[in-house]
Structure 1
């Protein structure tokens, strides 16, 4: 089946969704009238009311979608005067593709490139064309690879793929809105089955269109360059995710952010500093994962398809892609100023940002150890001296049990404590690095290795030597210690979620983190629990969610009695004497099939020795 026919089938199925919905409403209305004519007034009234509710639901959904307006793209537009070389390349490639060039080019903050077209008359009449280029993508591709990407995007124009784009997008919105309005009844269930068919066909059309656009990439840029551009996409995406997670997240959660010019500038620095690591990633096999709902074929499938396309010899331009945009850094800074919602965070340069955020994030981890040491020592609060006293007194095993650590984990935590103490004493600082983790350096700017001190602090017989070395360095173990009395969700990662769990008898959605649980009160109905949790996670960070709802850190748990594993039932006793009952229901949905198991594994660490369930 050709792509054109597939697209036509997709459009027909879209129209058919509402034809089916209308047929159901008309049929139910006719049945209501028949019941009324047959003197079954009560049944006719109930059926008529149900029919009216369905009709209103469909109308409300269509009205919402009709009134909705797409969010305007906020990135800066690159005019021909701003980027003459880029526009020259785009127009040249459009001519080779036999299509009209886009009317504007706009920068975006993602590892992405895309096109759209404001069409009229259901896609029969073309309109304004837009080309979008992600700044992180421009920072990782070379000019030859960018030409391949541009050829691919222009291929969507030359094959008329963008003509039905707005119609399909609106249609998908309408279907989703209709299903939301009709959730919880048999009509909604039937239409959901039909919607699955529409989305499957629509995704298949999109995948075929991607392969058609790839043909133009190979014809214009050459097979080797086109394939290298495809292989670069997951590398760029992984590098961008690494940058956000390892360099930005801690600072962001702590109330700090890079300056506007440092936001994308930092990523450019990282790409340059980690050239060898990125080269190793390029040697990996391209991703092959794909489902029938994906709008794009897997990278592996696209690379393999290119092997079957006619090749042309094209010399590859290996200059960085951003050289086509004079003043690229200024444009990237403008984009960051528009899209990065700093929201009152203090903006710092990278050196200061790393030093500040690391101290704060490491102190939160240190506080976990200090609170555990305080419990073992029977104190209200603890300092580094308390931890050393616990180990010297032969109570290391108690500390490890309270922390839930094993193996070398306590050694790593003690090294964190002594390095944090050194920073607080003013004898060390964290030095920012793009090529690897931040370095702990002394006053002479040389790396300060505190591993021997931490190792000595692990054993009762050598704790004295650790104290002496710290004193020699200028660290007072009694003046560095616990800051916070209670745990927060900072640094927490979502491992799963369980919907409609009975928490002390009331239903809650439980977001399972690696450091605790966020308990969110829910409606009585169990339907759409997974969608509810996904929407919740999209509404804010785990730190924000934990501040709005009850957060129970695992470190607060003294004892966990697992009374049933499937579905999970557990009675928790907290260190402050409070209790918490968790009862997973058979009908509750989960974020994934491992969610319940991941929570069970964490609670088992607090089960009394010899306990069974």
Structure 2
């Protein structure tokens, strides 16, 4: 796992990853946090065990390259600024008292808030396109597109497993020993629902609060037509986590 991340870093020119944490989500992210006394930053890659179960190794590489692409474009700085401004406004709005001044401020928020949100979400979506481009340079546009399509299919399978787990909650006193292991089994092999999941996502348009573009737009930007990925056999968890994958799950 560490060797793969370092190889992707060398290919993309991305940041050094000091720590890798396996989480329970079908997702990945690189978080940068300041060291003590201002001695640089520490970069942590968070990558989900379900994501490793759900993707081939080259698809996993493309996903990590995408996350590194955000740092290459210094997206974290602008995203952090946008988040802090939005959070500050929310805090001020919650603490506004009644009165003329409060009403004036509320009118300003009502006018400027939607404008700021619209432009900041446009920026966030543009950054996703740029990160996709880095993934395509690192692994090829076909692999970058396959990673997007694979995750779309596997999200549907993952949700189906967890829906079944929750439906059992009122029937049994104890939960399954490892829902993550069960979910991993559901990721493998062909599934007639994959085409349906892709079609549904292709028809879905991002809402005003979505920071990611729609699947159709991302594939178009890569110049790749939609397709159903071939059945998964094992997933990258076998290659990247080895025997530790069982304990992690």
Would the TM-score normalized by the shorter structure come out above 0.5? yes
**Where does residue 173 of structure 2 map in the other structure?**
256
Give the 5 Å matches for 1:565-580.
Answer: none
**Where does residue 159 of structure 1 map in the other structure?**
73
Q: Distance in 1 between matches of 2:64 and 2:145?
A: 14
**Where does residue 226 of structure 1 map in the other structure?**
144
**Where does residue 218 of structure 2 map in the other structure?**
302
Q: Structure 1, residues 471-521: CA drift from partner, whole Å, max 9, x if none?
A: xxxxxxxxxxxxxxxxxxxxxxxxxxxxxxxxxxxxxxxxxxxxxxxxxxx
Give the 5 Å matches for 1:371-382.
Answer: none
The alpha-carbon distance between structure 1 residues 263 and 212, as it changes in their structure 2 partners (threshold 3 A), is: same
Bigger proportion of residues as helix: 2
Larger relative contact order, structure 1 or 2 (CA cutoff 8 Å, min sep 6): 2
Give the 5 Å matches for 1:441-452.
Answer: none
**Where does residue 331 of structure 1 map in the other structure?**
248
The alpha-carbon distance between structure 1 residues 263 and 283, as it changes in their structure 2 partners (threshold 3 A), is: closer
Structure 2 length-normalised TM:
0.82
Secondary structure of the 2:46 match is strand
Q: In angstroms, what is the RMSD of aligned CA positions?
A: 2.7
Secondary structure of the 1:258 match is coil
Runs of 4+ with deviation above 6 angstroms? none
**Where does residue 227 of structure 2 map in the other structure?**
none
Q: Distance in 2 between matches of 1:183 and 1:248?
A: 46
Q: 1:172 aligns with which of 86, 100, 103?
A: 86
The alpha-carbon distance between structure 1 residues 259 and 138, as it changes in their structure 2 partners (threshold 3 A), is: same
Secondary structure of the 2:41 match is coil
Give the 5 Å matches for 1:231-242.
Answer: 231-242=149-160
**Cα distance, 1:322 vs. partner?**
0.6
**Cα distance, 1:205 vs. partner?**
1.1
Q: Distance in 1 between matches of 2:234 and 2:139?
A: 15
Number of equivalences: 233
Q: Structure 1, residues 525-581: CA drift from partner, whole Å, max 9, x if none?
A: xxxxxxxxxxxxxxxxxxxxxxxxxxxxxxxxxxxxxxxxxxxxxxxxxxxxxxxxx
Structure 1 residue runs without a partner (length 5+): 1-85, 309-316, 333-613
The alpha-carbon distance between structure 1 residues 283 and 293, as it changes in their structure 2 partners (threshold 3 A), is: closer
Give the 5 Å matches for 1:260-279.
Answer: 260=177, 262-272=178-188, 275-279=190-194
Does the Cα contact within 8 Å between 1:94 and 1:151 map onto a contact in 2?
yes
Bigger proportion of residues as strand: 1
**Where does residue 58 of structure 2 map in the other structure?**
144
The alpha-carbon distance between structure 1 residues 282 and 292, as it changes in their structure 2 partners (threshold 3 A), is: closer
Q: Distance in 2 between matches of 1:289 and 1:158?
A: 27
Give the 5 Å matches for 1:414-429.
Answer: none
Does the Cα contact within 8 Å between 1:109 and 1:136 map onto a contact in 2?
yes
Indicate yes or no: 2:1 matched with 1:92.
no
Indicate yes or no: 2:240 matched with 1:322.
no
Structure 2 residue runs without a partner (length 5+): 225-231
Does the Cα contact within 8 Å between 1:104 and 1:131 map onto a contact in 2?
yes
